[in-house]
Amino acid sequence: MRRAGLFGVPRVRPWSWQAFLLGLVVVGVSAALQGVCVALGAQFYFAAFLPSLFVLGFVAGAPAAVFAALLTIPLVWWAFIPPFFQFMPLSSAGADSINLFCLIAVLLIGLADLCRETMTIISRGGLKPSGESAATNSQ
Longest dimension (CA), the chain: 72
Residues 6+ apart with CB under 8 A from 129: none
For residue 11, report the phi and psi dihedrals to the nearest 5 degrees: -120, 145
Domain ranges of the chain: 2-123
Tell me, what's the pLDDT at 137? Answer: 61
**pLDDT tens across the length of the chain (139 residues):** 445 555 566 778 999 999 999 999 999 999 999 999 999 988 889 999 999 999 999 999 999 999 999 999 999 999 999 888 999 999 999 999 999 999 999 999 999 999 999 988 888 887 777 665 556 665 5
Tell me, what's the pLDDT at 113? Answer: 94
CA distance 58 to 109: 8
